[in-house]
Amino acid sequence: MATNKRVFTLRLSDEVFDKIGFLATKEHRSMTNYIEYVLMQHLEQIEREHGEIETGQTE
């Protein structure tokens, strides 16, 4: 199943990496999925407070 997701490198300290790994495991998610989930939650909060973020891209 093809996805339209972009791939990029993310550098994290060992401490942050380990903490994200711990939280992802508690949520039964992969680290990648957990990071995406957390970022999506943050974006939703920002948009609730400040309005939609316009990127010029259509879904």
pLDDT exceeds cutoff 70 at 1: no
* Distance between CA atoms of residues 25 and 51, nearest Å: 32
| Average pLDDT value for the chain | 93
First to last CA, the chain: 18
* Distance between CA atoms of residues 27 and 20, nearest Å: 11
Counting every residue written for the chain, the total comes to 59
Residue 27 banded pLDDT, cuts 50, 70, 90? very high
4: phi > 0 → left, psi -120 to 50 → alpha, else beta; which? alpha
pTM: 0.82
